[in-house]
Amino acid sequence: MALNVLEERALAELDLSHERPFRLADHLSSVRAASAVVVLLLWEIFGRQINPLFLSYPSAIARALLQLLNAGEIQRQAMGSLQVFAVGLSGALVLGIIVGLLMGRYRLAEYLLDPYVYALDATPRVALIPLLLLWFGLGTSSKIAIVFLSGLFPVLMNTFSGVRTVSAHLVDTGRAYGAREGQIFTKIILPAALPFIMAGIRLAVGRALIGIITAEMFTAVTGMGALLVRYSSALATDKFFVPVIFLALLGVGLSSAVEKLQKRLAPWKETERAL
């Protein structure tokens, strides 16, 4: 609301401006920084007094990080994990999108497949890990299978519900103008469902990351998850935190990368489904 001149003058005469008393709520970013620093400091102080077998402290973790980086151990294991992750996830994305498109477009496919899809989607994927290990052994293929299964359902379900929400008018218009089924898929349905698919991919990336960690923790042979198990059973707590921090950063990096991709590929609509 704009004030007129008289009101402005009256306000100036009354001199309502007074120094605001200091309030913590006005300095939120400093509070945030202080909170982080205090916790790190407390961790450092208490961590040094506690038996190093049970809890480490920030400076020891930093030292361990440098040591492992120099030895090349982290890089080597990370490469292994990321390759498995990439193969399993791409498989999940391809199959998830194709099956999701088919189930969304054709009712026969939907009714044939949805009992399995819903049942498997509700099954906690971790419960399948022992079975997959039995079938595929302790090597790369069982890890790929676990990553694949972890990533498959978020993409599939989101693609499916994305296709279902594509307006029938759009499809009818396309058909009225003589679009073939292939064109309807690639030029109408896919773009319209893309925001959903991207949201599904975002969920899938997170799930697949958890999948690869769990799989590697179980097989405990190679990869970041194996490092976690190895260092924790060796009670090397400082080293244990190195892969933890790496995985946290990886998670944040991947999800922000997908988010960026999502904004670029599907800027026209923001929808997602919580799973």
Partner 1 sequence: MISASDEQLINELGLRRRHRWSLYDHPNLIRAASILFFLVVWEIYGRETDPILFTYPTAVVEAFFKLLATGELLRQAAVSLGALAAGFGLSLVLGVGLGLAMGRSRLAEAIFEPHVNALYATPQVALTPLLMMWLGLGFAVKVAVVFLFAFFPILINTASGAKNVSASIVEVGRAYQASRRQIMFKIVFPAALPFIMAGVRIAVGRGLVGMIVAELFTAITGLGAMLSLYGNIFETAKMFVVIIVLAGLGIGLIHATQMLERKMARWKESERAVS
Q: List contacts with partner 1 (CB under 8 A).
A: 24-25, 28-29, 31-32, 35-36, 39, 54, 107-108, 110-116, 118-120, 122-131, 133-135, 199, 202-203, 205-207, 209-210, 213-214, 217-218, 225, 228-229, 232-233, 235, 237, 240, 243-245, 247-249, 251-252, 255, 272-275
Which C-beta is closer to partner 1: that of 56 or that of 140?
56
Q: Mention every residue, 6+ apart, whose C-beta is less than 8 A from residue 157.
A: 100, 117, 121, 200, 273, 275
Minimum separation from the CB atom of position 25 to partner 1 (A): 5
Which lies closer to partner 1 via its Cβ, residue 43 or residue 185? 43
Q: How far is the CB of 227 from partner 1 (least distance, A)?
A: 10
Nearer to partner 1, 193 or 228 (CB): 228
Cβ 210 to partner 1 shortest distance, Å:
5
Q: Between residues 11 and 112, which has the closer beta carbon with respect to partner 1?
A: 112
